[in-house]
Amino acid sequence: MSEDQVAPESRGVTVELLTTVDLGPEIDGMAGRELRMRMVTIQPGGVFGPTHDHRGRPGTVYVLQGTITDHRDGVATDYGPGVGWPEDHATLHWLENRGTVPAVEISVDIVHR
């Protein structure tokens, strides 16, 4: 898919919630937010879309298996096992698996409950 095309809707993606922590009792000012950890599997040819942002939902991603292509700012960047990236208020992106094996990531973020 060329960089000037609009990201398609999600397909071939499985998201498993691993755990959460209610941040209200843990940190002053964090009522209504939780720390969330998920395992995301993107099948070959799968897309985690459409384009989305992370305003108010900062997080980090770590790739366990396969290669995930992160599309942002007109640039496609491949991340393989043992590599990760931040997702902050300036992140506007979508993901895909261009490989031949399932890509698996661990995603940790702060979300509104």
- Our CA angle for 91, 97, 61, nearest 5°, is 40
Q: pLDDT tens, 17-54?
A: 999 999 999 999 999 999 999 999 999 999 998 899 99
Stated pTM of the model: 0.89
Domain-by-domain residue ranges, the chain?
11-112
For residue 2, CA distances in Å to 68, 76, 99 come to: 16, 9, 16
Is the per-residue pLDDT at 3 higher than 60? no
Band (pLDDT 50/70/90 cuts) for residue 2 is very low
Mean per-residue pLDDT over the chain, rounded: 93
Q: Which CATH code fits 11-112?
A: 2.60.120.10
